[in-house]
Amino acid sequence: MNITDRLSQTIAAQLGTLYGLQVAPADVVLQATRREFKGDCTLVVFPYVKAARKSPEAVAEEIGAAVQKAMPEVSGYNIVKGFLNIEIADSYWLQFLAEQALATDYGMAKVDASAAPVVIEYSSPNTNKPLHLGHIRNNLLGWSVSQLLAAAGANVKKVNLVNDRGIHICKSMLAWLRYGNGETPESTGMKGDHLVGKYYVEFDKHYKDEVKQLMESGVEEEQAKREAPLMVEAQHMLKRWEEGDAEVRALWEKMNGWVYAGFDETYNRLGVGFDKVYYESQTYLLGKELVQKGLDMGVLFRKEDGSVWCDLTGDGLDQKLLLRRDGTSVYMTQDLGTALLRHNDFGAERLIYVVGNEQDYHFKVLKLILGKLGFPWADKVYHLSYGMVELPNGKMKSREGTVVDADDLIDEMERTAEEMSREHGKNDELQPDEQKHLYHILALGALKYFILKVDPTKNMLFNPAESIDFNGNTGPFIQYTHARIRSIVRKAGDHQPWDFNAVQLNEKERTVLKALHSLPDTVSAAAAAFSPAMVANYAYDLAKAFNSFYQDTPILRESDQQLMAFRVDLCAAVANALKNTMNILGIEVPERM
């Protein structure tokens, strides 16, 4: 139990003794003392004034005296109107450093592998285009939330659902047949996902021309979009696929194979992966079975044209299509099947879907329909909704080829990292292969940190030029701070243990120790909120606190050997905490720069 929890327990007990109040420790709210006042924790006493029938200052004095008497860790207190500022003894902070903060896994809970897992789905790409900037936020958020929940003790399983079938896939296939002239990744030198994405754009270009021609002949726009020959042929190809047509299936397998190879390369560069991969082509039939079950139960209905719907008007929504009139499935169909399969595969404690906020409605519907189909675990479905990534020149559109390609972005980031490193002289002592690795981890650190430091629920504007900077709230700043600390620890070498009684903390040391102390609570709160941003900003605050300490306090130049040994250990603890928090974000920290 940390000092804050013990203070809450003690204060709750003293409120009972002093004023007869029955207050749960969880309801005792402590906050960090403001910088302009002396103290470590602050209690607002106004809620207890009425029961005490005394002034706020008198109540604060009574509580402060009682807490100090009951807890030897409390060295003093001061009162500012109705605020009780509690001071924690140096001995507590020093013991905390020696017994907890120096552990290499400090702040990270042990995972109970026997517990029911939390299943997190992220990435979920379509096999008709390469991964782009929007996918990057999804992948980084999904991976980081997985790491975060594991750091809080959860048994996490990371899964991917590849959307490998549907009309969008047929568009790329049809365009390649029409305009590809037999191109392959080998013949063009293109990554397979890039090649297939090229033909998705090609389809859209020719389709728009057909729609325009039909409209010029007097056809209404919506009718023209439906009846354009390319679209009709793509719909026919989808139906042939669902009927198992050998020719269509062979083309589908070939082009999807190209895409999977491309995806794997990008995933490896991003440093993300999965425990299991599901494919829509293997789950949509289970979804169709659930649709039939819903029809048999009477919770779904079939319209005159043969399409199947769920009436959600009683739930404040509308009617939701589950099967088209030609019997082909929609996204919701396969998501029903995948949810059931995933629950059965893992016996999941929770099913978390990392999907953009444009799909908020979709997941409300998914949860409702699962409930109507009689699955008691429907309430375990959770949509981790996140905001969109935009660029200075606006939104991206895959059909029009205006996306920021993930591979191109990583290449650009690595080039920029190299330029910045050379400019700042960060790589002068490294061998060529070490330099190349450094550029890669700095690039990925900049990219990941810039994206993950933003609250997931918010839209964000991505500016690559701002992300790679060795100063400010950036990944490279934290990475460089870690490298600097590791250099100090290496130079210090082995040292004798320091004596608690020989160390008196200065304000900068105390600030660093307090920041270290808050790591477990930060991880716990961030996991509860599914917010890697809280961890990212913790890492930045810790790095700032360390650099302020480093600038003002001698470490290796300290003549007092006890103080030097203590400060080296403090440095080592900060390096551990930075490494652990950045690992949650999927960011590697260098040992030297």
pLDDT tens column, 183-230: 999 999 999 999 999 999 999 999 999 999 999 999 999 999 999 999
Query: In the chain, what percentage of residues exceed pLDDT 70?
Result: 97
User: How does residue 352 score in pLDDT terms, banded at 50, 70 and 90?
Assistant: very high
Burial profile 138-151: b = 16 or more Cβ within 10 angstroms, e = fewer:
bbbbbbbbbbbbbb
Contacts of 295 (CB under 8 A, 6+ apart): 301, 302, 308
- What distance in Å separates the CA atoms of residue 581 and residue 152, rounded to the nearest whole number? 12
Q: Is 399's pLDDT higher than 50? A: no
Contact present, 368 and 312 (Cβ < 8 Å): yes
- What distance in Å separates the CA atoms of residue 286 and residue 241, rounded to the nearest whole number? 17
- What distance in Å separates the CA atoms of residue 456 and residue 354, rounded to the nearest whole number? 10
Q: Is 410's pLDDT higher than 70? A: yes
How would you class 253 by CB atoms within 10 Å of its CB: exposed for 0-12, middle for 13-18, buried for 19 or more? exposed
376 half-sphere exposure, CB direction, 13 A CA radius: 2
Contacts of 455 (CB under 8 A, 6+ apart): 531, 533
Contact present, 500 and 582 (Cβ < 8 Å): no
DSSP class of residue 47 equals H
Give the fold, CATH level 3, of 3-88: Gyrase A; domain 2 (3.30.1360)
Q: Is 398's pLDDT higher than 50? A: no
- What distance in Å separates the CA atoms of residue 368 and residue 479, rounded to the nearest whole number? 45
The H-or-E segment that residue 75 falls in is strand 74-80
Reduce the DSSP state of residue 27 to 3 states and report it: helix
Please count the helices (runs of H) and the strands (runs of E) in the chain: 22, 14
- What distance in Å separates the CA atoms of residue 479 and residue 485, rounded to the nearest whole number? 10
- What distance in Å separates the CA atoms of residue 236 and residue 229, rounded to the nearest whole number? 10
DSSP class of residue 320 equals E
Phi-psi region of 22 (alpha: psi -120 to 50; beta: other; left: phi over 0): beta
User: How does residue 396 score in pLDDT terms, banded at 50, 70 and 90?
Assistant: very low
Contact present, 286 and 345 (Cβ < 8 Å): no
- Retrieve residue 14's tokens: 């003293």
Contact present, 30 and 37 (Cβ < 8 Å): no
Q: Identify the bridge partners of residue 86 per DSSP, sorted by sequence position.
A: 41, 77
Contacts of 549 (CB under 8 A, 6+ apart): 508, 509, 511, 512, 570
Q: What is the dihedral of CA 577, 411, 182, 399, to 10 degrees?
A: 80
Query: Would you list the domain boundaries of the chain?
Result: 3-88, 122-390, 412-584
Least confident of 55-64, 335-344, 388-397, 517-526: 388-397
- Retrieve residue 520's tokens: 């477990």
- Retrieve residue 229's tokens: 């020959």
- Strands 41-44 and 83-88, by their bridges, are antiparallel
SS3 percent helix, strand, coil of the chain, rounded to 5, is 60, 10, 30
- Retrieve residue 556's tokens: 């290796």
- What distance in Å separates the CA atoms of residue 351 and residue 114, rounded to the nearest whole number? 17
DSSP class of residue 510 equals H
Q: Which class in CATH covers the domain with range 412-584?
A: mainly alpha
pLDDT of residue 461: 85
Q: In the predicted model, what is the mean pLDDT of residues 268-283?
A: 93
User: How does residue 234 score in pLDDT terms, banded at 50, 70 and 90?
Assistant: very high
The predicted model scores a pTM of 0.90
284 φ/ψ angles, rounded to the nearest 5 degrees? -65, -30
Domain at 122-390: CATH code: 3.40.50.620
Query: What is the CB neighbour count within 10 angstroms for residue 36?
Result: 6
DSSP class of residue 34 equals P
Which of 81, 86, 95, 80 lies closest to 14 in space, CA to CA? Answer: 86
pLDDT of residue 401: 47
User: How does residue 363 score in pLDDT terms, banded at 50, 70 and 90?
Assistant: very high
Least confident of 110-114, 124-128, 327-331, 344-348: 327-331
Task: Tell me which residue has tokens 């190209």.
Answer: 258
